[in-house]
Amino acid sequence: MDPHEAPPSGARDRKGPEVKTLEKALRVLAHLGEARRELSIQEVARAVGLPASTAYRLLAVLARHHYLQPGSGPGRYALGLRLAELGHLALDGIELRAKARPVLEAVMAETRETIHLMVPEGDAGIYVDRVEGPQRIRVTASLGFREPLHVSAVGKAILAHLPREESERILARGLVGITPRTVTKPAQLRRQLREIVARGFAVDLEEGEAGVRCAGAPVFDHRGRVVAAISVSAPAYRTPLPKLLGWGPRVRDAADTVSRALSFRPAPKPVPKSR
């Protein structure tokens, strides 16, 4: 259901116990945030209007999942690091889209094809922005669409730059075939990932969707972590391989521009020793 749609008639009055428990937990977190200090179980219970036993159970669960952390004494709690982590992720996502948008628009104006922005999420990637080209027949992925990293250029650009143990874990879980061209053999995909790192961009030859070709490149944050990738996507019938490979450096440059906007600074290349 669209989050901006009104709920079905009567839905507001039919909250199940799970929803009510969640609302209580959110009230507890909100109160601790407003208090800006650690609180005891009794203080939370009085402020939120809960029995002390209920407040105790909610606080214990929230602490177990690191949304809260123990305070200076028994039965006292403060906001936890998990909330800080989620807050940083939310801010990073807003910053990423804002800084990437003009770059996506510039690449679309040059290629006249659809440009996508993907971010990694667990073992997959999620499309978080796109700029559609003016062509009558064009390729678009729905925003919020989630797909395996190994089936597209934008996903492979991310996968190639994940920490080694993380990429190997993804490969070990199995590579599902989406089309007859999807790479499903780990050894073959590893070779592709090494090539992607070497040249700075990935290509997708109808591996994620029949009749679609893409070129994608990674985006890095200030810590050097891959946080996104940009791709240009087009129907295969008007994208011969030389044209697709020609887009590669352009997409790579665009991704580099966004990386610099996120304060990424690549390590300096070693100076060759004189003989």
- Predicted confidence (pLDDT) per residue in 73-123, tens digit: 888 888 777 776 666 556 555 678 889 999 999 999 999 999 999 999 888
Matching CATH topology for 14-79 and 87-261? no
- What mean pLDDT is predicted for residues 149-167? 96
Q: Would you say residue 145 has pLDDT above 70?
A: yes
For residues 10 and 184, what is the distance between their CA atoms, to the nearest angstrom? 48
For residues 178 and 166, what is the distance between their CA atoms, to the nearest angstrom? 22
Fold of the 87-261 domain: Beta-Lactamase (3.30.450)
Q: Quick one: pLDDT at residue 5?
A: 40
pTM of the model: 0.68
Window from 17-21, 130-134, 223-227 with minimum mean pLDDT: 17-21
pLDDT tier for residue 10 given thresholds of 50, 70 and 90: very low
What the block records as the tokens of 200 is 């700075």
176 near 182, Cβ under 8 Å?
yes
Calculate the average pLDDT of the chain. Answer: 85
pLDDT tier for residue 269 given thresholds of 50, 70 and 90: low
Q: Would you say residue 11 has pLDDT above 70?
A: no
For residues 226 and 230, what is the distance between their CA atoms, to the nearest angstrom? 11
SS3 content of the chain, % helix, strand, coil (to 5): 50, 20, 35
**Which residue bears the tokens 């996502």?**
93
Rounded to 5 degrees, φ, ψ at 228 are -170, 180
- Predicted confidence (pLDDT) per residue in 43-67, tens digit: 878 877 888 888 788 888 888 888 8
- What mean pLDDT is predicted for residues 119-140? 88
pLDDT tier for residue 237 given thresholds of 50, 70 and 90: very high
Q: Quick one: pLDDT at residue 273?
A: 58
pLDDT tier for residue 3 given thresholds of 50, 70 and 90: very low
Window from 72-81, 201-210, 253-262 with minimum mean pLDDT: 72-81
Q: Would you say residue 241 has pLDDT above 90?
A: yes
Longest dimension (CA), the chain: 82
Strand order across the 124-131 sheet:
146-148, 124-131, 114-121, 226-235, 212-220, 202-205
Q: Quick one: pLDDT at residue 2?
A: 37
Nearest-5° angle of CA 241, CA 246, CA 251?
A: 120
For residues 96 and 128, what is the distance between their CA atoms, to the nearest angstrom? 10
Rounded to 5 degrees, φ, ψ at 91 are -65, -40
Q: Would you say residue 177 has pLDDT above 60?
A: yes
For the chain, domain boundaries:
14-79, 87-261
pLDDT tier for residue 181 given thresholds of 50, 70 and 90: very high
Q: Would you say residue 164 has pLDDT above 90?
A: yes
Q: Quick one: pLDDT at residue 271?
A: 55
| CA distance readout (Å), 270 to 51, 207, 210, 226, 273 | 64, 37, 42, 22, 9
Q: Quick one: pLDDT at residue 84?
A: 66
The correct answer on CATH 1.10.10.10 for the domain covering 14-79 is yes
pLDDT tier for residue 275 given thresholds of 50, 70 and 90: very low
| CA distance readout (Å), 15 to 2, 7, 9, 21, 49 | 19, 12, 13, 10, 18
